[in-house]
Amino acid sequence: MKIVITGGAGFIGSNLALCLQEKHEILVIDKMRGQSYLDNGNLECLGHFKNLLNYKGRLFIGDINDKETFKKISDFKPNIIFHQAAISDTTAYNQNQVLSTNLNSFEEFIKLSIKLNAKLIYASSASVYGNLPSPQQVGKENPKNPYAFSKLMMDNMAKKYYKKAHIVGLRYFNVYGNGEYFKGKTASMILQLGLQLLKGDNPKLFKGSDKIFRDFVYIKDVVSANLKALEAECGVYNVGSGKARSFQDVLDILQKELNTNLTCEYIKNPYINAYQFHTQAQLDKSFAYESEFSLEEGIKDYLDEIKRIYEEELKNA
Ligand SMILES: NC(=O)c1ccc[n+]([C@@H]2O[C@H](COP(=O)([O-])OP(=O)(O)OC[C@H]3O[C@@H](n4cnc5c(N)ncnc54)[C@H](O)[C@@H]3O)[C@@H](O)[C@H]2O)c1
């Protein structure tokens, strides 16, 4: 198969590229990190070459807003497009920038998929649910920021084309695992707490973290979900573990695995008025995806990489 992966130098895209490269011909598209910043001071693009150090396929540095990028994809003639590229920062508030990047380009991807008869699997997001009560289910959304709104608009747009192409949207919940380090501040709390413990710092959590729940999903499950989506009916599906676990659970598991007993500092939550306190995916039985990793198993599997990041990236930074 010929497969295009947009955002392939980012966290989820690079995992897809590394997993699929042995058996398929891959073209990764990514704008890569540069000197452009979002209105919140974070980098606009988080793609990093180190995520692709073991990648042997093709790489094209391009913007999904540019015609040249679509020409490159069209010439490659993929059978499948995994579309991960996006402004992935939920705290970016420049509506024009977030929506034009995430949404406008998406219709071009749909049209190209129809033209090439390629399957299109794209990243939506659990952020579309805002603070709706758990379990969150497709069909009830309440986006609270431009990023979440852009993903909901993508889902709505995709629906109009289900009869013309194989299009599947995946609403990832809180993904963690190898390849997320270069997301910096937007990397998962699993990595951030793990690194705090390895440094010997007192870990920091918001007050009441034993009552703040997230559906954490391990990257290997997310890659499996993308592969299942190739055989699924057109639609939008939740991709989580189906379980809600607290941030306190995350810290307790990490302390146990790293054999530490550092005192946690509980700090004031500055986002308290616009905060998700409980997320949990309602998994759709018609989508043959099942999460294989519990939080304990995912963290155990990830631990060597967290230690490697601490030794090789953080100590030398
Ligand atoms: N990681 C999560 O927990 C999570 C949760 C829900 C949804 N998602 C979605 O999954 C997808 C992948 O997320 P991720 O965590 O790997 O994020 P990421 O930021 O690591 O990856 C996104 C990639 O897209 C690239 N990119 C950004 N703008 C681009 C542009 N204009 N042209 C070309 N490339 C561009 C970036 O350089 C980056 O490599 C995104 O669409 C994100 O919104 C992620």
Q: What is the pLDDT of residues 218-254, one digit of tens each?
A: 999 999 999 999 999 999 999 999 999 999 999 999 9
- pLDDT tens-digit map of 113-129: 999 999 999 999 999 99
Chain mean pLDDT for the chain? 96
- pLDDT tens-digit map of 105-163: 999 999 999 999 999 999 999 999 999 999 999 999 999 999 999 999 999 999 999 99
Which atom of ligand 1 is nearest the CA belonging to 9?
39
d(CA 48, CA 99): 23
The CA 13 to ligand 1 mean position distance, Å, reads 8
147 is catalytic: yes
For atom 9 of ligand 1, the residue with the nearest CA is: 123
pLDDT of 132: 95
pLDDT of 273: 76
The packing angle between helices 247-258 and 189-199, to 10°, is 40
Phi, psi of 129 (to 5 degrees): -80, -15
- pLDDT tens-digit map of 287-298: 989 999 999 999
Which atom of ligand 1 is nearest the CA belonging to 174?
3
Q: How many angstroms separate the first and last alpha carbons of the chain?
A: 39
Please give the C-alpha separations between residue 221 and each of 65, 173, 289, 291, in angstroms, as whole numbers. 29, 11, 8, 6
Q: Is 146 in the pocket of ligand 1 (CB under 6 A)?
A: no
pLDDT band at 317 (very low <50, low <70, confident <90, very high): confident
Mean pLDDT of 275-293: 93
Q: Please check the confidence at residue 316 and state whether its pLDDT lies above 80.
A: no
Encoded amino acid at 76, one letter = F
For atom 11 of ligand 1, the residue with the nearest CA is: 84
- pLDDT tens-digit map of 194-227: 999 999 999 999 999 999 999 999 999 999 999 9
d(CA 86, CA 96): 14
Q: Please check the confidence at residue 314 and state whether its pLDDT lies above 90.
A: no
| Percent of the chain predicted with pLDDT > 90 | 95
Q: Is 88 in the pocket of ligand 1 (CB under 6 A)?
A: yes
Query: pTM of this prediction?
Result: 0.97
Of the two residues 310 and 272, the one the predictor is more confident about is 310
